[in-house]
Structure 1
């Protein structure tokens, strides 16, 4: 018998892979049109409610400036009362009672001179601050103003606290019931209040100077 060799059939399986690109709009024409529109659009404009570093820095400086003016106005009022109560002490019920003058006590004279100097210095600072609001840096440059304010605020504060400390023992030596005694008490109290507010002004001046050096 003859053996017939049958050809062996090799079956091959072919896998067809189709790559599909999904477009957002479902068609390549729409996708190309959208990309062209995005390329032609100008840069987005910032929103009016967006955060701005320059605006916040300017607002912080402006708030410090207004706070400084308010504090210096308080110093102006307190120093004026301190000097006025020594120069023209309040009257008492006893009209014919003689009252000594503050010029008889060197400590009270010192307190009056310091209060007057603080009044004049604060008036000049207020005038400059108001002029800076209308015309920026018209009187003196900002750098020189920061250095002068930092030094003079500390000097005036030291003079105020020293004059008030020197006038306190003299208040007990003035005769009771006289207008000078009441005036000395009010003047010393206002000198201490002026010193406290001036100390805050000195801290703000130091803060502004440190910010200027840091910039």
Structure 2
């Protein structure tokens, strides 16, 4: 050590500890402690989007009883805007069910079904697509609600469906932010 200067022996490059990758797996950790809070939050948000999209589709599909004798029960299938909202919420429901299933399988089987990199790309792209479909169906439904008469029994279920569709959009938008964060973290860091 006589030939080595004291500043070279204790340089900052040698003293910096290595930080483990957030995507590495530790054998000593348990299943729940190895999962990041972002994964658990993502599962909770996926469940909320599943619930909101189900309520949105159910409010249109369930027949509402006519309160007046002269009032006939109208169907949402006669309105193409409401039909579009119904189809998009069914797509959002199926996508949320798939993502929820994939998230639970990832926790249970540690990512064996789909690789993490492919999963991050798929989630980011499909979150964007489903979010766009939900916001477009909500905006079209607003126009349909304005055209529906005040006295029809279809007006209240259409308002509930539009509200739940927009709530689903907000939750999917948060999921898209999480999946974008995970994708950027995988690419950049």
Structure 1 residue corresponding to 2:50, chosen from 45, 56, 76: 76
Q: Deviations over 1:149-205 (max 9, x none)?
A: 000000000000000001101112222243311110000011111111111100100
Counterpart residue number, 1:156: 130
Q: Tell me the CA shift for residue 137 of structure 1.
A: 1.4
Structure 1 residue 208, shift from structure 2 partner: 0.0
- Kept in 1, the 8 Å contact 2:127–2:175? The answer is yes
Aligned to 1:193: 167
CA RMSD of aligned residues (A): 2.3
Report Cα offsets for 1:91-134 as digits up to 9, x if no partner.
35336631211111111110000000000000000001001111
Moved runs in structure 1, 4+ residues, more than 3 A?
A: 51-61, 89-96
| Structure 2: distance between partners of 1:202 and 1:60 | 22
CA distance in 2, matches of 1:65, 1:202: 13
Q: Which residue of 1 aligns with 2:60?
A: 86
Higher relative contact order (CA 8 A, sep 6+): 2
- Name the count of aligned residue pairs: 165
Q: Match for 2:79 among 105, 108, 111? A: 105
Unaligned runs of 5+ in 2: 1-16, 25-32
- Cα–Cα, structure 1 residues 137 and 55, in superposed 2: closer, same or farther, change >3 Å? closer
Unaligned runs of 5+ in 1: 1-50
Distance in 2 (CA, whole Å) between partners of 1:60 and 1:205 is 18
SS in 2 for 1:93: coil
Q: TM-score, normalised by structure 1?
A: 0.70
The 8 Å contact of residues 79 and 191 in structure 1, kept in 2 or not, is answered as yes
TM-score, with structure 2 as normaliser: 0.80
Whose radius of gyration is greater, 1 or 2?
Answer: 1
CA change 1:213–1:57 in 2 (3 A) is closer
Distance 1:167 1:99 in 2: 19
Q: Matches of 1:169 and 1:55 in 2, distance apart? A: 49
Following superposition, the deviation at residue 56 of structure 1 comes to 7.9
Shift of the 95–208 alpha-carbon distance from structure 1 to 2, 3 Å rule, reads farther
